Structure 1
Amino acid sequence: MKLFFFLNLFIIITCTMKVDRLKIIVFDLDYTLWPFWVDTHVTPPFRIKNGSIVDSYGSKIKCYPEVPEVLSNLKALGYELGVASRTSEIKGAEQLIQLFGWEKYFTYKEIFPGSKVTHFNNIKRESNRHFDEMIFFDDESRNIYDINRLGVVSILVRNGVNKQVVENGILQYVNDRSS
């Protein structure tokens, strides 16, 4: 299954001229990479217990099942990855990224309350890239609307990130950029 996803993305990338402009893929965290709000549904600090990530009450913490593979494959394909989260639980979000082993994937981490527009302006400045070289995945329509207005192809995620959501998002990026 992993090979199938990797091959599908490779075919999309090699057969489409416009995807070579895609450089940065940014994800929201809550209800996008994991199925909860880190500031209200779980209780930091987090730790590893018996091989699982748990919160301070011992409740197991999990991400959406395909997220680790998606992040690994996108990084292997040469994309720069980032997170943009408006959570007020900054330390908890950063701790979960570390415990899930995702820090090796993310070049950009914009985790603080406020507008996603600020997050993306920071990523643009730090990366020296243009908004039309980015794609964004988020579960909230208001964020999709705001970031679309910047010129970033923005994908509404309904049930968490998975391989199909990312493949469809990249295809939408290609279609939007070829018009």
Structure 2
Amino acid sequence: MTRTVPRLIVFDLDFTLWDCGGTWCDCLTPPFRQSDARLLDCGDRHIRLYDDVLWILDHCDQHSITMAVASRTEQPPWARELIGLLGITERFAHAEIYPSSKLKHFASLSQQSGVAYDEMLFFDDEMRNIREVSSLGVTSVFVETGMSRKLFEHGMARFAQP
């Protein structure tokens, strides 16, 4: 059987889906606030989705591809709050957000979703996570400078390769 589209696409958060003023979300200073259509922390660090992220999420929704997030953050409540404030909570069927190995995140995602590792596509900005998750049989793509449409399309093409 030829696989063309992943059954589950998993995204990391920091430096993958969003930029938090050049740091990780667990290094921010809550409370978070909206100011002139910008999401800021108390230190005025701007939290924003990378430019193509909404296009990517829309594409997945339009093609009925289930999405999840997996983040090793030390501040899960902050990450969940930011997902909500950025208006993308409902996009993700599953969220594994807690400090642990991505192997634990993916074991839980596979169990919850019923999706085998070889039917998943994963995007992350940390090479150690890419190596770990790839060892499970997940098609894993290194995100060097935030998610872009070009990188997403590259990942989809890699997944479809026999």
Q: Counterpart of 1:135?
A: 121
Q: Deviations over 1:136-174 (max 9, x none)?
A: 000111000000011100000111001000100010111
User: If each structure's strand is expressed as a fraction of its own residues, which one has the higher value?
Assistant: 2
Partners of 1:115 and 1:171 in 2: how far apart?
Answer: 27
Q: TM-score, normalised by structure 2?
A: 0.92
Q: Counterpart of 1:5?
A: none
User: If each structure's helix is expressed as a fraction of its own residues, which one has the higher value?
Assistant: 1
The 4+ residue runs of structure 1 with deviation greater than 3 A are none
Q: Identify which of structures 1 and 2 has the higher relative contact order when contacts are C-alpha pairs closer than 8 Å and 6+ apart.
A: 2
Partners of 1:157 and 1:52 in 2: how far apart?
Answer: 24
Q: TM-score, normalised by structure 1?
A: 0.84
- Out of 1, 5, 10, the residue aligned to residue 26 of structure 1 is 10
Root-mean-square deviation (CA, aligned residues, Å) is 1.2
Q: Which runs of 5+ in 2 are unaligned?
A: none
What letter corresponds to residue 75 of structure 1 in structure 2? D
Partners of 2:149 and 2:29 in 1: how far apart?
Answer: 29
Partners of 1:138 and 1:57 in 2: how far apart?
Answer: 26
Partners of 1:59 and 1:122 in 2: how far apart?
Answer: 32
Please tell me whether the aligned partners of residues 39 and 87 of structure 1 are also in contact (alpha carbons under 8 angstroms). Answer: yes
Partners of 1:83 and 1:159 in 2: how far apart?
Answer: 18
**Identical positions, percent:** 37
Q: Which runs of 5+ in 1 are unaligned?
A: 1-16
